[in-house]
Amino acid sequence: MQVEEIINKYRVAEGYIDTPEGCWTNFLGLHTKTDLFVDGEKHNGEFVHRMPIPDDGFYGGAYEHATLLTAIDSRRGHHRFTAVELGAGWGPWISAAGVVCARAGFPNIHLVGVEADAGKYERMKEHMRINGVDRRCDIKLIRGAAWDSDTTLSFPKTEALDYGGSPTADKGNTDYRGYEYETEEIPAFSFQTICRDLDIIDFAHWDIQGAEWNVAQSCKDFLDEKVRYMFIGTHSRFIEGNLLNMFFEMGWDVMHQSPCNMIYDRNRANLVAMNALDGTMALRNPKLA
């Protein structure tokens, strides 16, 4: 994966687009509300034209952007592009897919976003509206959690800028990090259920706070049959090892991977709670890609 080359290919010209009040605009021409980030207001009205290498300080690193853009680039000339984002937050990656694909001339763009937190789910709708994605794409937004089966789970009512909330089958008000929260019951869905109306998924982005291994192993065959490219945020070394072994046995290409940064602490509930910085895994399914 030629990271700098693919990012530069889709970078819009400096001054290409006006930035709405209360937003900043990235190198793809994607607007994002500044109040989604700590101290984000100081970037109000900015157009950040530079490439996100090693990262952009907001969304993520170069490989995260490059995986999405590689998936889009591989489908240029085709009539359809489909992207699915689990643990979507405000929907940055499906919205980026919608903006880039619309500019690239895809006639059919299908976006699916899944988010458990009520406030972030509403922000996802707003983010798509600000970027015009709601007018140009076929969108399916689901308020719920990605899980290994269709069920009901507990989810903490987190602060607006807390992006670490995680669903659980356990009762109680203490989350995996040891934080005390009021909780609510939410629906949870398997990846197969989330994608049941889709044919091929060109790009899947998962950031599901420690559930990625359980979800992946529950839909292994489905992934192999349906998904071309994936990017997974990983939340423990145990999860990373299991995912790498699974995708190796499936014959997938690992285009990039970096381990999570953890601080070992026996007072924490589990390895996921020791995670200080997410790991990353960019994957390609050679059977489809």
pLDDT score for 17: 86
**Tens-digit pLDDT string for the chain (289 aa):** 789 999 999 999 877 889 999 999 999 999 999 999 888 888 899 998 888 998 887 788 999 999 999 999 999 989 999 999 999 999 999 999 999 999 999 999 999 999 999 999 999 999 999 999 999 999 999 999 999 999 999 887 766 555 556 777 677 666 656 566 677 899 999 999 999 999 999 999 999 989 999 999 999 999 999 999 999 999 999 999 999 999 999 999 999 999 988 888 888 877 777 777 889 999 999 999 8
- CA–CA separation, 236 and 165 (whole Å): 16
pLDDT score for 274: 78
pTM, rounded to two decimals: 0.93
pLDDT score for 155: 84
pLDDT score for 173: 66
Instruction: Compute CA distances 111 → 137, 140, 153, 280, whole Å.
Output: 7, 6, 24, 22
- CA–CA separation, 6 and 8 (whole Å): 5
Instruction: Compute CA distances 9 → 100, 246, 284, whole Å.
Output: 11, 32, 20
Q: Which has the closest alpha carbon to 205: 282, 262, 258?
A: 282
pLDDT score for 138: 97
Q: Which domains does the chain have, with CATH numbers?
A: 60-284 (3.40.50.150)
Complete DSSP assignment for 9-73:
HHPPPTTSSPPPTTEEE-TTS-EEEGGGSTTGGGGTT-B--S--SSB-SSS-BHHHHHHHHHHHH
- CA–CA separation, 204 and 211 (whole Å): 15
Query: Are β-strands 253-258 and 279-284 bridged in parallel, bridged antiparallel, or unpaired?
Result: antiparallel
Joined together, the tokens standing for residue 169 give: 């089958």
Residue type, 106: F
